[in-house]
Amino acid sequence: MSDSEISITSSPLSQEIMLSDDDQHVTEREGSSANEKNELQHLGVGLVDQTVLEREIMAKADKAIAERDEALDQKRLDKTRKEIR
């Protein structure tokens, strides 16, 4: 590249413009986070807040553990009732 050349590179998520001036490269990123979010959604990728994700996973795990404990308790209760008769 000569000192005054401008090269434009496009990608699905952003557009970069590289300017060359005496081997010094300046990169400018164009595009807003809203635009990137829309492009990611178009690709089927969603963005989730880490705290919300952790809270949802913990709630599902707690629910699964509670259901399992309830099933085991019911099984013990049924076995005890059977032994009493």
* Token pair listed for 9: 């590179």
7 within 8 A of 1, measured Cβ to Cβ: yes
pLDDT digits (tens, 9 = 90+) for 11-24: 444 444 444 444 44
Whether residue 7 contacts residue 27, with contact meaning beta carbons closer than 8 Å, is answered with no
Q: Report pLDDT for 14.
A: 44
In this predicted model, which residue has the larger pLDDT, 63 or 9?
A: 63
How far from the centroid of its chain's Cα atoms is residue 62's Cα?
Answer: 22
Q: Where are the domains of the chain?
A: 1-46, 48-85
Contacts of 17 by beta carbon, 8 Å cutoff, 6+ apart: 6, 7, 8, 9, 27, 28, 30
Report pLDDT digits (tens) over 26-41. 444 445 677 887 888 8
- pLDDT, residue 18, reads 45
Q: pTM for the whole thing? A: 0.48
